[in-house]
Chains A and B, each alone.
Chain A
Amino acid sequence: MEQAKSVGSEGIKISGDVVFEKVGEELILLNLESGAYFGLNSVGRRMWELVLALGSPERMVECLLNEFDVSREILERDLANLIRELKEKRLIKGE
């Protein structure tokens, strides 16, 4: 299993060519440039909404800790994993 990096303080933004649509509880993301797509469950969807609203992983962690019954350590790990995966698919980018 790949070791997760900790959440950094860099700002993140949604890539310009990304569109997304909510389907039931899921959010489907698509990079129109590459054709890569990705499905987010309800928690991932909330993280995505916070990417849109806040852009800062640190602020996202604070916000999510208030919403979910989860330890900071697990949340930071899950968020870092998600950010890495979304970056790999060029769905988000760091500033």
Chain B
Amino acid sequence: MLQYSVIGLMYTRTCPLSCAHCITESAPKVKERMRLQQASDYLRVIPRFCSQVCFTGGEPLLYHREIVELTHQAKALGLKVSLVTGAGWVRGEATARSKVAELVDAGLGSLCISWDQYHEEFSPRERAVTLARVATELGVDVEVRTIISANRPKDEFQAVFKDIPARFQAYPGIALGRAVSLPATHFNIADELPTGVCSVVLSPVVEPDGSVYACCGPSHYCQRPSPLMLGHTSTEPFEDILARAVKDPVLEIILNLGPHGLYLLLKDHPVGRARFRARSGYSGMCELCLDITNDPELVDAVRERLADADARRLMVASRLWMDKKLMPIMNKQRFESDKVAEEA
């Protein structure tokens, strides 16, 4: 059974920026937005599944007042509160400080600043740097999340935040959403099937229209029916959607073995052998995940395999591997990264 680490509320898909790599294709003209009452209703369900909520978007701080109110509510429910922002709203230090201070007073614990070369085309880096500095000064745990193009060095971006006690996390780009239009040189294309586990399925997200997805971003591109499309809150209670999803063995395989685990199960199944065709190149594991989960016959074949003893053993062994080996390593890395940020 999955134990969620955080549940995301995509409060809006509107964003003052239109970054070329944006996986959610957020932009100023995209008008989807969650209602305050709707978000409040979701918040009341979250403590039954995990201890943290993350407000994301788009740019959630376009609705600063509402996010402050929701942060108050989340805090009162005992939730830790985090927020993802592109810093496009920052206009000077005093205003940024005042807005972050209100969020901190309401209960904001951590802030993820999404910033990289693609953001910089629309918003000067000073906004992200100012926000990171102000937020850390106000005691917020800050992470700067950067998508590194394959043709640019990571250090170039990390250096921008070198004097600020924020964690810097760099990730390769994925050719999904608006990023499909970027030149191939921006991606690390591998011609082999991508391997690796995927803990992102521990972070489901509700979009403004009530769609609930298994992860934030890539699963937005799943086709229905798909195990990545967890449900829709207009037709089913949010709680029932999550209660079903945490028990889905397909998602558990994606967590513990990555999409490659789905492939391992399919390669020994006649439907898998007949229908699965590998791409000539992958920018990341999300493409493999979507290729398999978007095909209902392949998903049925995976579920059929999961009923046999060999696959069940693989599933249990992979869960033990995740719980006893990988999670402690990831927690240690996170701890060390926090320590480095504190020392900085």
Binding site for B on A (CB under 8 A): 19-21, 23, 26, 28, 30, 32, 35, 37-39
Contact = CB atoms under 8 A, between A and B. Distances in A.
Contacts of A32: 320-321, 324-325
Interface string B286-320: 00000000000000000000000100111011001
11 contacts: A19-B320, A19-B324, A20-B320, A26-B309, A26-B313, A28-B313, A28-B317, A30-B320, A30-B324, A37-B317, A38-B313
Interface residues of B, number: 10
Contacts of B324: 19, 30, 32
A23 B321 contact: no
B314 A37 contact: yes
Nearest to B316: A28
A30 B319 CA distance: 10
Contacts, number: 30
Contacts of B325: 32
A19 B316 CA distance: 11
Contacts of B309: 26, 39
B316 A21 contact: yes
Most buried by A among B312, B314, B316, B324: B316
A39 B313 contact: yes
A26 B321 CA distance: 18
A28 B321 contact: no
Q: Is the interface of B mostly helix, strand, loop or mixed?
A: helix
Nearest to B310: A39
Nearest to B324: A19
Interface of B: 309, 312-314, 316-317, 320-321, 324-325
B312 A30 contact: no
Nearest to A27: B316
Nearest to B325: A32
Q: Max chain B CB contacts within 10 Å: which of A20, A21, A30, A38?
A: A30
Q: Which 4 A-B pairs have the closest CB atoms?
A: A37-B317, A28-B316, A39-B313, A30-B320
A28 B312 CA distance: 10
A30 B173 CA distance: 34
Contact of B312 (A20, A23, A38): A23
Contact of B321 (A20, A30, A38): A30
A24 to B, nearest CB: 9
Contacts of A23: 312, 316
Nearest to B313: A39
Contacts of A38: 313
A28 B321 CA distance: 12
Contacts of A30: 317, 320-321, 324
Contacts of B316: 21, 23, 28
B133 to A, nearest CB: 41
A37 B321 CA distance: 10
Contacts of A19: 320, 324
A20 B324 CA distance: 10
B320 A21 contact: yes
A21 B323 CA distance: 12
Contacts of A35: 321
Nearest to B328: A32
Contacts of B312: 23, 26
Nearest to A28: B316
B332 to A, nearest CB: 15
Contacts of B320: 19-21, 28, 30, 32, 37
A37 B313 CA distance: 8
